[in-house]
Amino acid sequence: DLPEDYDNHEDLEEEIPIVICAAAGRMGGTIAAINSIYSNTDANVIFYIVTLKNSLTHIRKWIENSKLKDIKFKIVEFNPMVLKGKIRPDASRPDLLQPLNFVRFYLPLLIHKHEKVIYLDDDIIVQ
């Protein structure tokens, strides 16, 4: 039962925004994470898939030609030029300097529609 003052049934199905990055070399992990979430929830989830320009078409084709074709998703391009002059190279850990590692700091600039989002790494599986 809904409270008497509740007048908007759409709020019951409010979208739950999930942000996940899709790096070219880790696309399989991204798809596996999205699939595990989609397969294990009845919630009204929308995926924001953040990637670099060179992966935009690849990720769209991958989703549209799989059982994930029915998910709600938006692909968001992250421009690594926003990082220019802001990060110092660390020769001991070059893997940490991948542009998509910094997406979480730019979420307010990338995802405007939602006040809060769930940010997940591409190496998770939801059961």
d(CA 47, CA 20): 7
| Residue 124: band (very low, low, confident or very high) from pLDDT cuts 50, 70, 90 | confident
Q: How confident is the model over 48-81, as pLDDT tens digits?
A: 999 999 999 999 999 999 999 999 999 999 999 9
Question: Please, which pLDDT band fits residue 86 given cuts at 50, 70 and 90?
Answer: confident
Distance from C-alpha of 107 to C-alpha of 48, rounded to nearest angstrom: 10
| Residue 44, token pair as written in the block | 């009204």
Q: Which amino acid is at 118?
A: I
Let me know: does 34 contact 68? Beta carbons within 8 Å: yes
Question: pTM (2 decimals)?
Answer: 0.83
